[in-house]
A and B are shown apart, each in its own frame.
Chain A
């Protein structure tokens, strides 16, 4: 009798262990490397929102981990590898500077899948993804062209890299469709995130006569300053309207959730493949915050432009694109600049008076 009981108990225990092990193995571990703090209200914050969306969507099936404030240097490689060693099978590295560390770790662990944002190197187990934020910039340019009474835009740039340059150019091209004489003043603050500096830059731009502020930095400081001065501004990365209820025209929202959900689903289904995703408004990677603080006709124009971009009828970088020097840029994409040209953009379009930095 006792033997039977023991055997039964053992069987139950074993079943329990096996099912426990099975459910542990079923949980997919997904890791995230963040550049800044999740509270930056900008770039990292949007990735974090997407991660939370993943948790909501997949519940018990996944377990997510993140490391924030990871500097883009030698520490990044270790941070990524630590996530791998902790059992994460799908890892998102959310900044350009993580490109080489991600590649190195990817080569070491061919069975782990990596997703790298805003870079260009990839591998069999390393995908890259990015958003066509310049589509949003084009729309912003159209709006700004209409809303700027002074005809001068103020642009707060972080670093003179292609991502930012293409934003400036798209803005100008969009603005020029409604005001061919639009001007722009650009200040480079050499940081993605420094509220004090961004505020100072916004003040300087406004002092010098700009009346619409756009930024490619991450904090709401500029929006705040514009609000205080009664001017208009565009938010960046996330909704900044609570810092400028009467100020924000719209904001380019980084909407990573659909892409993340799609990739996690593929990983769960076993269908994950290396990919190169660069989508924008159409795939909802880029979303525009509601158009506010503008008259109805401008709002309609903005919405029509957005629809046009989604349909493919409106091309932000339609050829001919004319450079600062007055010469037409070679058109490699048929009727528009091709992706390579945009990704490596290192010139200003006509209408920008500033000397191009970093040549």
Chain B
């Protein structure tokens, strides 16, 4: 049973950055914008987040730095795609490349330093409960925040007028515009939210997961977050399942190796990606005639005047 608890803890930690980044991208995409630059925003969040924490000695300040970095990066994206009506795919890719390069330059000065990682909750009595004690009451702030975040986003999207309007922009921006909603402004806010989340998710890695900064430490998690949004059919509840599923596959393949199950490690490492493709296909199949993406996702919108 201890092993099960330990595995759950590892999966929670591994899934948290995916969940946070994917939540932000979900909001962005629900508003109709496809931002492929998540990896670039995340790694910038990691570099700036670590720098902030190291310079100030506070994890909270580090997280703020990460959020700001991600938001600024996303604003470049917003300026290009919303202000100048540039193709979103190309801009997102350029953002990733820029982010990776810039974070290497910024982070170069911090390599080799270490900080005290984010503290874990400790409630005497509750945290020591067997099996679920540490899972429920022993996590670090990021894990709890990630869950609060996705619940908040769910509530916003489906229970508030603002969320309804945002979804309208993503499904049919022409009608939304005709109804008088400021589509571009809403999208910009959604993009910035996505950037903030990506930055925070990136900052989680050096602030809580492995408390030092190494260039490229996001190792493709931004791309996985993008896949997760599609995997989740753009629905928050599915997103949580998907994030933990993905984290689980990553962790379990390591455990399978340690247990001596002789499956080639490359196959195990490929499982999460294969699983995503299969799920993408299966999900799209169950709907008649195609996927449930926001209908206006990725299309350029320039309001007529």
- In the assembled complex, which residues on chain B have CB atoms less than 8 Å from the CB atom of A197? 219
CB distance from A48 to the nearest CB of B (A): 11
CB distance from A212 to the nearest CB of B (A): 14
A148-200 at interface with B (beta carbon < 8 Å): 154, 185-190, 193-200
Residue of A nearest to B219 (CB): A194
In contact, B214 and A204 (Cβ under 8 angstroms): no
- Given A37-B111, A207-B6, A220:B254 Cβ within 8 A: no
B207-239 at interface with A (beta carbon < 8 Å): 209-212, 214-215, 217, 219, 221
In contact, A208 and B215 (Cβ under 8 angstroms): no
Proximity string of chain A (325-359) to chain B, C-beta cutoff 8 Å, 1 when within and 0 when not: 00000000000000000000000000001110100
CB distance from A56 to the nearest CB of B (A): 19
In contact, A204 and B258 (Cβ under 8 angstroms): yes
Partner of A195, one of B6, B10, B212: B212
Task: Spot the interface stretch: B65-73, B184-192, B261-269.
Answer: B261-269
* Interface magnitude class on chain B: 35 or more
CB distance from A67 to the nearest CB of B (A): 15
Question: With the chains together, A353 CA to B261 CA distance in Å?
Answer: 10
* Interface magnitude class on chain A: 35 or more
In contact, B14 and A200 (Cβ under 8 angstroms): yes
Question: With the chains together, A242 CA to B116 CA distance in Å?
Answer: 12
In contact, B219 and A219 (Cβ under 8 angstroms): no
Residue of B nearest to A353 (CB): B260
A215-255 at interface with B (beta carbon < 8 Å): 219-221, 224, 228, 242-243
In contact, B217 and A190 (Cβ under 8 angstroms): no
Residue of A nearest to B266 (CB): A190
- In the assembled complex, which residues on chain B have CB atoms less than 8 Å from the CB atom of A220? 114, 212
Residue of B nearest to A40 (CB): B214
- In the assembled complex, which residues on chain B have CB atoms less than 8 Å from the CB atom of A194? 219
CB distance from A42 to the nearest CB of B (A): 10
Partner of B219, one of A37, A187, A196: A196
In contact, B259 and A208 (Cβ under 8 angstroms): yes
- Given A203-B6, A203-B10, A186:B210 Cβ within 8 A: no
- In the assembled complex, which residues on chain A have CB atoms less than 8 Å from the CB atom of B269? 190
Q: Does B131 contact A (CB under 8 A)?
A: no
Residue of A nearest to B109 (CB): A39
- In the assembled complex, which residues on chain B have CB atoms less than 8 Å from the CB atom of A243? 114, 212
CB distance from B8 to the nearest CB of A (A): 10
Question: With the chains together, A210 CA to B6 CA distance in Å?
Answer: 13
Question: With the chains together, A357 CA to B205 CA distance in Å?
Answer: 31
In contact, A195 and B260 (Cβ under 8 angstroms): no
In contact, A39 and B211 (Cβ under 8 angstroms): no
- In the assembled complex, which residues on chain B have CB atoms less than 8 Å from the CB atom of A221? 210
Partner of A207, one of B212, B215, B219, B255: B255
Question: With the chains together, A167 CA to B111 CA distance in Å?
Answer: 28
Q: Does A205 contact B (CB under 8 A)?
A: yes
- In the assembled complex, which residues on chain A have CB atoms less than 8 Å from the CB atom of B10? 200, 203-204, 207
In contact, A196 and B6 (Cβ under 8 angstroms): no
Residue of B nearest to A197 (CB): B219
CB distance from B183 to the nearest CB of A (A): 38
Q: Does A261 contact B (CB under 8 A)?
A: no
Residue of B nearest to A188 (CB): B265
In contact, B108 and A196 (Cβ under 8 angstroms): no
CB distance from B119 to the nearest CB of A (A): 11
In contact, A186 and B258 (Cβ under 8 angstroms): yes
- In the assembled complex, which residues on chain B have CB atoms less than 8 Å from the CB atom of A185? 258-260
Question: With the chains together, A134 CA to B255 CA distance in Å?
Answer: 26
- Given A194-B219, A203-B6, A204-B10, A188:B257 Cβ within 8 A: yes
A to B CB contacts below 8 Å, 27 in the list: A37-B108, A37-B215, A185-B258, A185-B259, A187-B257, A187-B258, A193-B214, A194-B219, A196-B209, A196-B217, A196-B221, A200-B250, A201-B254, A203-B6, A203-B10, A204-B254, A204-B255, A204-B257, A206-B6, A207-B10, A208-B255, A208-B258, A220-B212, A221-B210, A224-B210, A243-B114, A243-B212
Across the A-B interface, the 4 shortest Cβ-Cβ residue pairs: A39-B111, A207-B6, A355-B262, A204-B254
Instruction: Contacts A41-B112, A185-B260, A203-B10 known; list 15 others, CB within 8 Å.
Output: A39-B108, A40-B111, A40-B214, A190-B265, A193-B214, A195-B217, A200-B14, A201-B254, A206-B6, A207-B255, A208-B255, A219-B210, A224-B212, A354-B260, A355-B262
